[in-house]
Structure 1
Amino acid sequence: METLFSHLFSSQEPQRSQAYSLLHCCRKHFPDLVFIKLFYVIRQGLSADIRARSALVLRFVLCDLWPRLSLNAQINMKNNFLVSLQEEGSLPTLRILCAIAGIRDFWGRNWFHDLLRGMMVGLFNLLSHLKEDYARGALKELIMLVMEEPRLLKPYLNELVLDVLKIADSEHVTEGTKVFVHKFLLTVAEASDLALTMRGLPHQTLVRLLTVPMKLLLCACYNKESDQGANVGKTDLGIAYLTKISTALGEKTMTPIAFELFLEYMDASNWKKRHTGISMLAVIAKECSGEMVIALR
């Protein structure tokens, strides 16, 4: 099988043509066996290049073969897919597997939910083993998933946002990785297809979501004198967060949450926290001015 996959990507035409003919024959007559062999190589192949090529072949044959697979083969594929996401250490192979996750017509809601949970478990495993370079790659793929297939995420948006917020709150994750966390949350806020779903998220989730830019503004306030460059960057990011979240949630949803946080920050003895509350109020005033007037009355 490794030889077959290497020939499929050969620069020599005779080898490539023969390999495609053999693959077509296997797809037609032995669909279940093709998947068994593909996943065996994806999980057991000694070469990262071979595993990546096997994943590419899987993506190529999936469209035609999925409806023809037996129920046992579909279950076996799902289980192997989830394990592969958690165990694979090659970033190119992980990227291909994550791209396959975007093929939406071949599994039901429970299948995609299990797949998404497997992706998040794999991400947390990478972070716990201090493999942040790979974790950032996984976050990039999640960002691409939000951009390209936002409707797939609607039923699971709350738990996905909560998982990512755990990373944002972690003291053991570097600022470099948190940049991708912030990018993910901003991408969610920018996705028009997710706006209605965001407004329906539980109140506590929305409070935690809004706390992220508040922490950025507060951190910028603390670092104002010591590191002007970092201060400007975090201030701009915090403002961008608040603006985009305000737009996504709309003033009716945003104003009560913002007002709740505003009162909390204004009651603080620390002047920097009070300053952060005022900054937040100034940022969202344009988006929520009408509702804010009613709330303040």
Structure 2
Amino acid sequence: MKRRSFVKNTVLGASGLGMASGLQATTRNRSLADKPFNLNYAPHQGMFKNHAGNDFVDQIHYMADRGFKSIEDNGMMKRSVSEQEKISKALVDNGMDMGVFVVDKGGNGANTLAAGKQEHLDIFLDGCRRAVEVAKRVNAKWMTVVPGNFERRLPLDIQTANVIEALKRGAEIFEPHGLVMVLEPLSDTPDLFLRYSPQTYLICKGVDSPSCKILYDAYHMQKNEGNLIKNIDYTWDEIAYIQVGDNPGRKEPYTGEVNYQNVFKHLYEKGYKGIVGMEHGLSEGGKAGEEKLVQAYRKADDFL
């Protein structure tokens, strides 16, 4: 029997026998759940499909039962309004937070903010405006932005200035709503303009807005620059969001070379209260792979 079905049937059975009030049933439901983690790890859709089924809402319920307190969903802006509302309700029902989603057409190879072209800026700002409405609907605070590729016909400092000016315009849209675009340096291709945490730190300082911060993805940064803990410290005052994945392979902790227990301990000791997005795949399939995922995070989270 699925874990969620067991919880549900237990509560219904107690209610039918007159052994518990609705409040007691809710308490019993929670007592069957795994304990919360020390940090706020956020899975994404599909990570627990073998235990919870294909429906994302059912997966969210299962995630809550396993001790997770947040989710993230890169493709949230591409979902229908009804889907967004159902996901938001599931999060509220489970006392969970919404992590990042990606600003649609916020920057990619065909729409690079480094070029300084008005048509690229217009596409980016339109995505920012639409992201505000989605954020309100799903009670989100953070939106991922990638500025796109290099414009190699321009000097690097001119490209940097173009990116800063575009992001200032985006921040003007987000700031009145208390929303934060988080810039993610990536390792996917050397054509991407934003690749290093100190580079992203410089850009955030140039934008100078509470609505423009760093998304520090330790998987990408391990590939591009290494020295994770020291670079986290260097850029700390501009970091608003963390994502992780082991390297090589981009799977759960303990499948690669990163000592995530030390990284998580460092974040905890620095007082990090934000979300740690589980931006990676699973090293094994089926229910066994999903259980391995949970236990990897339990081990990495065991730093107190």
Normalised to the residue count of structure 1, the TM-score between the two structures is 0.31
Higher helix share: 1
Q: Say which structure, 1 or 2, has more relative contact order (CA 8 Å, 6+ apart).
A: 2
Q: For the pair shown, which has the larger CA radius of gyration, 1 or 2?
A: 1
Instruction: Say which structure is richer in strand.
Output: 2
TM-score (norm 2): 0.30
